[in-house]
A and B are shown apart, each in its own frame.
Chain A
């Protein structure tokens, strides 16, 4: 746990953890609202958004990319709604049509443009690149107090920290509204809560989290972060407040354990190469969900045990 840890592992672990938290928070509400697969759709359309942003600006700077991805998420949500209403198609199928088409368009654009000079490729977008986000200037724990070294922190850390903070603040500010609208949309409307706008805002927040996390963990693994920790948390408690805390705890646990297993696990088996950290984080979150399914105190759909346990 010396200088090497600070240099190579501290920032990836922090970024992974913050990404997991940023996704898990809106994930709680998406799961309860039966919109879990919106996360799936959003994470797929991030790719075309980034490609279009690159084509328009010609750079791989962070801000245009984020705007492009967020824009693509908004476009996707609007298109899904349009297909659902205009074609009278059930939501799952409408989602499937829209996100696969946009994703295919993104891949085609990417193949058609010459991106050999810049770092933008499909595999990176899909799998993430957590391992490369190292803090090169760090020389040890004392670097945390060294302004020159702190200035050289990977910019992804700042971005995901801002995104996570934004998601957390929004969750707290809209807490009462979200809670009422999630469990009883009818009474939310009776109380004058703009439920439809709130639902749209939730999806946009999820998109922001997905886009910020995309940098670090890639677009597909974001889905696991949206769903696994909140789903596991849902099996632990009947209270929304506790469910949120459980989901944050599971998210942190997945990120830290996943990174450690990916980075150090192969060494225990005598291999010298690390494996994909983002993939391992998703796998760990899945294992946690599996354990919750088997042993979670509130796992049953209907159960006599539920009341005495509560």
Chain B
């Protein structure tokens, strides 16, 4: 536990601290950039982009070795991965635009093919004399164990730059994500902004390769926005909430992973984000499951209460146990089912409103007003006090409910 605390408070060594901060920044950028993708309903494009980085890593390694280096420069490998990711992205767009295949087929085809090619290159590299300790497999699932100082710096700096780019691009990208046609009418070049958006996603993917790995980086782009969507209906806020969720999961995940053995960084970060997702799915106000159940229960209670009161007013027996429980709990009936004073008053009111609605339907042929009758909307929310007074005049004096006097 103290090891985790140390890692969380950045006391687990300079490298670990740098990695945790970098993961937090990267998580923030990924969450924010992923929001644009999510709102454009293109979340899984990022999966293909991530898998398409693998052949680039392999080719960059081979090129660097051929040019006389040791091939392990992180910047070189990341540049290669960016190039092949861009190629994969262009191919997806080309297939979806030029052929009759749908975008999902294009995504899957590029993903599988590029990954297969990447695996072929990895086996080629394993047979090269320089390739035996290349450790390129760490790009699959991410690994911060034994990470070099300059690699940690690359992640921290890259994460910062990605956050800055998100901040600079937030307005045009929000606009395009929500309403591309409106953005076009406002004079924005939608295609270029889309390109910038994909560029940002690609940058996040590439920076995250070493940390989370190419198979799981897509989770950093998808889970935070989906989670954030539970907490707000406002466009501008989704981005920052998603960024915060991504940042927290990145930071906590990296710290957890540094604090114990056999805790691979990428999966831990993803699982942290997933835990936040499950919490939000269940507990978020408004869109969460618990809130929906609560809403449903309240609605049910209102329907049962009204039906019960109407039955009381008509002096019909109530047999539904839930209705009886509900009315008894509110003190409207006695345990033997006889209405109390309050119960009779409430029943009279419900019955009177019901008769007012009948009159209202005769007076107003307009379905726009009377169509709002659902048995639960109070009549004084639809009609003015004057109108209700008019209904009452037509109704005649209030009829006595049996036993009220």
Contacts and interface: CB of A to CB of B under 8 A. Distances in A.
Interface of A: 31, 34-37, 39-40, 44, 83, 86-90, 92-97, 100-101, 103-105, 107-108, 111-112, 122-123, 126-127, 218, 220-228, 231, 234-235, 262, 266, 271, 273-276, 278-283, 285-287, 289, 293, 296, 298-301
Contact of B105 (A36, A221, A280, A299): A36
B212 to A, nearest CB: 9
Contacts of A94: 226
B274 interface: yes
Interface stretch (B20-28, B60-68, B94-102, B386-394): B94-102
B109 A88 contact: no
B308 interface: no
Interface in B331-374: none
B105 A231 contact: yes
Contacts of B140: 122-123, 126
A285 B105 CA distance: 13
Interface string B148-189: 000000000000000000000000000000000000000000
A106 to B, nearest CB: 8
A96 B123 CA distance: 28
Contact of B267 (A108, A287, A298): A108
A13 to B, nearest CB: 17
B123 A97 contact: no
Contacts of A40: 44, 47, 107-108, 111
Contacts of B47: 37, 40, 96
Contacts of B266: 104, 107
A276 B112 contact: no
Nearest to B106: A231
A108 B99 contact: no
A279 B108 contact: no
Contacts of B114: 286
Contacts of B110: 286
B240 interface: no
A293 B96 CA distance: 10
Nearest to B110: A286
Interface in B108-143: 108-120, 122-124, 127, 137, 140-141
B270 interface: yes
Given A92-B44, A101-B219, A293 B117 contact: no
A227 B108 contact: yes
Given A276-B123, A279-B123, A298 B116 contact: no
A225 B95 CA distance: 18
Given A31-B105, A282-B115, A100 B123 contact: no
B215 interface: yes
A299 B94 CA distance: 12
Nearest to A228: B109
Nearest to A122: B141
A289 B371 CA distance: 56
Contacts of A299: 98-100
Contacts, number: 222
Nearest to A298: B100
A180 B102 CA distance: 20
A36 B223 contact: no
A275 B87 CA distance: 23
A275 to B, nearest CB: 4
Contact of A105 (B98, B267, B281, B289): B267
B263 interface: yes
B43 interface: yes
Contacts of B116: 220-221, 224, 278-283, 285-286
B104 A100 contact: no
Contacts of A298: 100
6 contacts: A111-B264, A111-B267, A220-B119, A276-B122, A279-B115, A281-B116
Contact of A300 (B99, B229, B264, B274): B99
Contact of B108 (A39, A87, A293): A39
A226 B105 CA distance: 10
A271 B44 CA distance: 38
A282 B113 contact: yes
Contacts of B196: none
A222 B141 CA distance: 18
B210 interface: no
Interface in B262-281: 262-264, 266-268, 270-271, 274, 277, 281
A221 B115 contact: yes
A227 B109 CA distance: 6
Nearest to B267: A104
Contacts of A276: 119-120, 122-123
Of the candidates B100, B262, B268, the one having the most CB atoms from chain A within 10 angstroms of its own CB is B100
A299 B106 CA distance: 13
The 8 closest A-B pairs by CB, nearest first: A282-B116, A286-B113, A224-B112, A279-B119, A100-B219, A104-B267, A96-B222, A104-B270
Interface string B189-200: 000000000000
Nearest to B115: A220
